[in-house]
Amino acid sequence: MILIVGGAGYIGSHLNKEINKKGIETVIFDNLSYGHRDFVKWGTFERGDLGNIDDIRAVFKKYPIEAVMHFAAFTYVGESVEDPQKYYTNNVKNTLNLLQVMLEENVKYFVFSSTCATYGNPVEIPITENHPQNPINPYGKGKLMVETVLKDYSDAYGLKYASLRYFNAAGADPEGEVGELHNPETHLIPLILDVAAGRREDIKIFGTDYDTPDGTCIRDYIHVTDLAEAHILALEYLQNGGESDFFNLGNGNGFSVKEVIETAEEVTGKDIRAVEAERRAGDPPVLVGSSDKAKEKLNWKPKYDELSTIIETAWNWHKKLK
């Protein structure tokens, strides 16, 4: 059985669906602070909090857990600057609780949700796993701290981990059973789709004077179902004796904010009112990753790498929201 911590959230719920499709049983552990109970449509749900180590111990005692995938983290970069304690406590300290119980219970396999934010401002594009890691906000710094812990725990205790550094997760389950629902929503694609759906008046373009072809920021959008698949492959890789390692998960193609808006207009057939606004603090002009390592070592083959497909799946989900 696989324990999915944070399995009621956006990426965890998509993983939960895909892994259950393969016949692998899951237990979902989530405190529902940001997750949604109705996103847990597969596996067994256990409500609990990583801040309370006895909650974690109880789940490990109750189920034959063989491996853990850990999605439960706070992810608002701006908030992490304003309230770093919130981020270090949940994303670092509570992760140490989880790892502690794994060691107590002798559970060796760990798939960790890391982030391209551990790289900081890129000095080279595309970003490979060997790119220097100089995160510029507490969110990225906390994720890098956990990566450091994982290396040391692996050396000392034989923990087998895969740390997956996501670029911009986007899109929704192509069958529309789960999708992206954040509160508050800060991500570009769902905000644009809110405009398309008539729930929001306009989309603000944060900066149009960047050193990019159209002046807006370029990001690497990766479909959430492709991300889910990579987690399953990473777990298989570890269980087959693969060495603990770090993998980028991105699409390798960058799209500007304006390109995303234009593609969303094509996909939805709606006019999307865009307003030029100031730059948002902490946004690097370009973030594009190389995922060649995941493709080679995990045999990962992203299926939904077209931006239009990513937006279409998101739209199919989004337009049903109230």
Active site residues: 139
- 227 binds ligand UDP, rule: CB under 6 A: no
- 205 binds ligand UDP, rule: CB under 6 A: yes
Cβ neighbour number for residue 270 with a 10 Å cutoff: 17
Separation CA 55–CA 221 (nearest Å):
35
- 127 binds ligand UDP, rule: CB under 6 A: no
- 169 binds ligand UDP, rule: CB under 6 A: no
- 273 binds ligand UDP, rule: CB under 6 A: no
- 186 binds ligand UDP, rule: CB under 6 A: yes
- 56 binds ligand UDP, rule: CB under 6 A: no
Q: What are φ and ψ of residue 318, in 5° steps?
A: -65, -35
- 217 binds ligand UDP, rule: CB under 6 A: yes
Nearest to 42 by CA among 70, 62, 22: 22
CA distances from 310 to 189, 190, 251 (A): 9, 11, 11
Do 250 and 291 touch, CB atoms closer than 8 A?
Answer: yes
Among 81-89, 204-212, 222-230, 262-270, the segment contacting ligand UDP (CB under 6 A):
204-212
**Residue 64: cis peptide before it, omega within 30 degrees of 0:** no
Q: What are φ and ψ of residue 126, in 5° steps?
A: -70, 155
- 199 binds ligand UDP, rule: CB under 6 A: no
- 187 binds ligand UDP, rule: CB under 6 A: yes
Among 27-35, 91-99, 120-128, 185-193, the segment contacting ligand UDP (CB under 6 A):
185-193
CA distances from 233 to 48, 149, 225, 226, 258 (A): 27, 23, 13, 11, 33
Cβ neighbour number for residue 243 with a 10 Å cutoff: 11
Token duo for residue 298 = 């995990």
- 191 binds ligand UDP, rule: CB under 6 A: yes
Rounded to a whole number of angstroms, the minimum distance from the CB of residue 169 to ligand UDP is 9
Separation CA 101–CA 95 (nearest Å):
10
- 219 binds ligand UDP, rule: CB under 6 A: yes
- Kindly give, in sequence order, each residue whose CB lies less than 8 Å from that of residue 295, ignoring residues fewer than 6 positions away: 301
Rounded to a whole number of angstroms, the minimum distance from the CB of residue 83 to ligand UDP is 17
| x/- track of binding to ligand UDP for residues 278-307 (CB under 6 A) | --x--x------------------------
Question: Residue from 125, 206, 262, 265 that binds ligand UDP (CB under 6 A)?
Answer: 206
Rounded to a whole number of angstroms, the minimum distance from the CB of residue 216 to ligand UDP is 7
Rounded to a whole number of angstroms, the minimum distance from the CB of residue 85 to ligand UDP is 21
Sites of contact with ligand UDP (CB under 6 A): 168, 186-188, 191, 203-206, 217, 219, 257, 280, 283
